[in-house]
Amino acid sequence: MMVDLLVRNVHTPYHSDPVDIAVNNTRVEQVASRIETPARRTVEGQRRLAIPPFVDAHFHLDSVLTRVPNLSGTLREGIDNWARYKQDNLSVEDVYDRARRYCEHAFAMGIQAIRSHVDVCDPQLRGAEALTRLKRDIADRIDIQLVAFPQDGFFSAPQVRQQLLKALDMGVDVVGGIPHNEPMYQQGTESLHELMQIAAERGLLVDIHCDESDDPNSRHVETLAALTARSGMGGRVTASHITATAVMDAYYVSRKLIPMMAGAGINVICNPLINIHLGGHFSYPKHRAMAPIRELLAAGLTVGCAQDCNEDPWYPLGNADMLEVARMGAHIGHMMGLDALRTMFDTVTTLPATIMQLPDYGLEPGCRANLVLVGAESVIDALRISAPREVVIRHGHVVIESGAPRTDSA
Ligand code: FE2
């Protein structure tokens, strides 16, 4: 039988020896040490590493590439500068063009799924309009999942609730929130009750910017875990950032909070590059402003690492490099053992794919034939050198091949 594509002689994160991968009808057909089936197209892997595509489960496509200078380098100035940008510069075309440019680059960097928050505090919902259109237009490259995100606070203005609901009606997929940025602490708690209710009524996933602060007394993640357990929405609710856990009481975090989160089945997304940069500004000695990834994983939680920002009001750097994200997470989280490094690779591939509930993700037979060949022989080497993405395959088609001499057509 003739198959559409044969990728020969590749290492993968999941096999001890090199394998061949046969693809037919946009799906992985077979993975074996040697496949003799004729193929319409063959890619010679030359023992490079074939991986399922990177998954960036926390990003902000509406502010990407705005390149607004942040003079103090703080979260507060970022939020203020973004508010000004929204007022003065934002248009549907502006958001669409920047987000599209970034997505094209992200695709070349091996990313094929992005969960992007979109600010719904804009009364005209320009970001939601642009990104729901982009989601359709770029589906042949990247799976985009959008989160209705009330950046200024669910209770920051009376109309935000309606705008959030309207964004969901427009095709935004996930319910977002930001309890620590509500005007009063109590409103943060109330916002979680309301947002979880909206998600339950509509059958949607939830992803909350939660306790993204240096406040040791913030307890919104505890509330979110309790509401997740009560509603039976385990696996469908994600707490993003939770950087306050780094300064909370150690007994509370280890003996109460993490077991409670594990019991509820809540997911966590850390953003190592942004967390370490924006957190800890106001204290000395400095703490590591990132969730305890090692302890969360050990407790059985599904934990992803994500990029969050790229050349926007919060972060002047970024290159859609999920290997850089995982590497930074490994440093901050004491995840440098060999098994721990392999797990860090999972935090930018399989684990966020689970969080986003991507269907048929992976390299097994039956999975969607989305894969990337990187210029390394192992996951650890790929992490070490931020290995170049040399071949990008989407739905069984070779879309990018920068390692041209290594490929041929049958
Ligand atoms: Fe974020």
Q: What is the mean pLDDT of residues 226-249?
A: 97
> 290 and 329: one domain?
yes
> 36 and 63: one domain?
no
In this predicted structure, what is the pLDDT of residue 408?
A: 39
> 46 and 61: one domain?
no
> 24 and 41: one domain?
yes
Q: What is the mean pLDDT of residues 52-62?
A: 98
Query: Is residue 269 in a domain?
Result: yes
- Count of domains for the chain: 2
> Does the pLDDT of residue 406 top 90, yes or no?
no
> Does the pLDDT of residue 321 top 80, yes or no?
yes
> 101 and 228: one domain?
yes
Query: Is residue 313 in a domain?
Result: yes
Angle, CA 248 vertex, CA 244 and CA 250 arms, to 5°: 135
Among 317, 337, 356, the domain boundary falls at 356
Query: Is residue 388 in a domain?
Result: yes
Distance 403 CA to ligand 1 centre (A): 34
Full-model pTM: 0.96
In this predicted structure, what is the pLDDT of residue 120?
A: 97
Which tokens in the block code for residue 214?
Answer: 């240096």
> Does the pLDDT of residue 409 top 80, yes or no?
no
Q: What is the mean pLDDT of residues 45-71?
A: 96
Active site residue ranges: 212
- Residue 211's pLDDT band (cuts 50, 70, 90): very high
Q: Which of 65-79, 110-124, 298-312 has the lowest mean pLDDT?
A: 65-79
Host domain of residue 41: 5-52+362-405
Distance 400 CA to ligand 1 centre (A): 29
Closest C-alpha to 56, from 326, 313, 294, 385: 326
Distance 255 CA to ligand 1 centre (A): 27
In this predicted structure, what is the pLDDT of residue 402?
A: 84
> 323 and 387: one domain?
no
Closest C-alpha to 182, from 167, 192, 172: 192
Q: What is the pLDDT of residues 86-139, one digit of tens each?
A: 888 899 999 999 999 999 999 999 999 999 999 999 999 999 999 999 999 999
Q: What is the pLDDT of residues 133-192, one digit of tens each?
A: 999 999 999 999 999 999 999 999 999 999 999 999 999 999 999 999 999 999 999 999
In this predicted structure, what is the pLDDT of residue 106?
A: 98
> 306 and 162: one domain?
yes
Distance 229 CA to ligand 1 centre (A): 24
First-to-last CA distance in the chain?
14
Among 341, 356, 371, the domain boundary falls at 356
Helix or strand run (H / E) with residue 132: helix 126-137
Collapse the DSSP code of 264 into the 3-class scheme (helix H, G, I; strand E, B; otherwise coil) and give the result. Answer: helix
The one-letter amino acid at 102: Y
Query: Is residue 366 in a domain?
Result: yes
Handedness of CA 70, 76, 79, 84 (dihedral sign): negative
Contact 312, 60 (CB under 8 A): yes
Query: Is residue 351 in a domain?
Result: yes
> Does the pLDDT of residue 220 top 90, yes or no?
yes
In this predicted structure, what is the pLDDT of residue 1?
A: 84
Which CATH number does the domain housing residue 393 bear? 2.30.40.10
Query: Is residue 241 in a domain?
Result: yes
In this predicted structure, what is the pLDDT of residue 404?
A: 45
d(CA 76, CA 364): 44
Distance 336 CA to ligand 1 centre (A): 26
d(CA 327, CA 341): 8
Residue 284's Cα: distance from chain center in Å? 30
Q: What is the mean pLDDT of residues 254-260?
A: 98
d(CA 195, CA 154): 9
In this predicted structure, what is the pLDDT of residue 284?
A: 81
> Does the pLDDT of residue 49 top 60, yes or no?
yes
> 209 and 121: one domain?
yes
> 42 and 111: one domain?
no
> 253 and 386: one domain?
no
Q: What is the mean pLDDT of residues 252-257?
A: 98
**In terms of C-beta density within 10 A (0-12 exposed, 13-18 middle, 19 or more buried), how is residue 67 classed?**
exposed
Query: Is residue 410 in a domain?
Result: no
- Residue 405's pLDDT band (cuts 50, 70, 90): very low
Query: Is residue 153 in a domain?
Result: yes
Distance 114 CA to ligand 1 centre (A): 13
Distance 308 CA to ligand 1 centre (A): 5
Average per-residue pLDDT for the chain: 95
> 141 and 83: one domain?
yes
Distance 59 CA to ligand 1 centre (A): 6
> 36 and 111: one domain?
no
Which CATH number does the domain housing residue 342 bear? 3.20.20.140
Which tokens in the block code for residue 36?
Answer: 């003799």
Distance 83 CA to ligand 1 centre (A): 15
Distance 65 CA to ligand 1 centre (A): 15
> Does the pLDDT of residue 257 top 90, yes or no?
yes
Q: Which of 36-40, 211-215, 399-403 has the lowest mean pLDDT?
A: 399-403
In this predicted structure, what is the pLDDT of residue 282?
A: 76
